[in-house]
Structure 1
């Protein structure tokens, strides 16, 4: 099922969509309604290519509100981690997502290189895992930055800046170098 809602956060309208069955299968969000529709389609395709059976029928749930509470800091990312299905992920991706969620808390960042060092892998592998993250916000890929700037973010850098600014991480948001 797909649960969709929008919220006013820090003076911006944020659309949040959550695919779920018994647990959360994927999350997407956007600061623009048109982009949000594209994000839903992109996530649907990604999950299906990974063998996840997703139902696009709409059904209200508490999941978008929970994701919003992570954005606003009312909930810690780790509190939602048990709600993730982890369907369709490789063991490497799951290890990266769990480590990141448990260790890089709100208001802090980690570089691709430091995360790679902690997990004994390469920064390029970390970058690929971040790009494929089906649980943005809960798995805080927005907190992974380049050593010399904010780094890249899928699908739009504006969302990464927004999330970091909400969390009070201002030092990295002035640099939009990718």
Structure 2
């Protein structure tokens, strides 16, 4: 199923789309609705390539509100881990996503290199896992930054700046170097 809702957060319109069956299969979002359709196509294409079947029928669920509550800090990211299906995610990606979600809390960041050191891998592997994250916001890939700047973000850097700004991570939102 697909649930899509619009919220006002910090003066911005935020569209949140959640694919789900028994658990969340994927999340995407957009500021002001810009690019939501493309983001959803990217997410469904990724999940299909990974062998995840999905029904795209529109149905209301609580999931978009849960994601909104994570953005607002009403719910801890780690509290939502049990709602994720992890379908189509490799063992490595799941290990990265779970460690990140449990250990890098709201209002803080970690570099690609530091996360790689903790997990015994390379910064490039971490970057790839972040790019493929089907659960943005809940799995806080926006909290992973480059050592000398904010780093990249899929689909747009503006979303990373927005999320870090809401979390009060001002030093990184003023550095847009990638």
Query: Deviating runs (4+, > 2 A) in structure 1?
Result: none
Offset, 1:130: 0.1
* 1:130-145 mapped onto 2 (5 Å cutoff): 130-145=130-145
Offset, 1:93: 0.2
Tell me the number of residue pairs that the alignment of Structure 1 and Structure 2 aligns.
178
In structure 1, how many angstroms separate the alpha carbons of the residues matched to 2:19 and 2:107? 27
Structure 2 equivalent of residue 154 of structure 1 = 154
Structure 1 equivalent of residue 52 of structure 2 = 52
- Structure 1 residue runs of 5 or longer lacking an equivalent are none
Instruction: Deviation per CA, 1:131-178: give whole Å up to 9, x if none.
Output: 000000000000000000000000000000000000000001111111
- Structure 2 residue runs of 5 or longer lacking an equivalent are none
Is this contact kept in 1: 2:3–2:58, CA < 8 A?
A: yes
Structure 1 equivalent of residue 89 of structure 2 = 89
Structure 1 equivalent of residue 100 of structure 2 = 100
Query: Is the partner of 2:170 in helix, strand or coil?
Result: coil
Query: Is the partner of 1:163 in helix, strand or coil?
Result: helix
TM-score, with length taken from structure 2: 0.99
TM-score, with length taken from structure 1: 0.99
Structure 1 equivalent of residue 4 of structure 2 = 4
In structure 1, how many angstroms separate the alpha carbons of the residues matched to 2:171 and 2:56? 39
In structure 1, how many angstroms separate the alpha carbons of the residues matched to 2:112 and 2:34? 30
Query: Is the partner of 1:16 in helix, strand or coil?
Result: strand
Is this contact kept in 1: 2:15–2:29, CA < 8 A?
A: yes
Offset, 1:54: 1.2
Offset, 1:33: 1.6
Offset, 1:34: 3.6
CA RMSD of aligned residues (A): 0.5
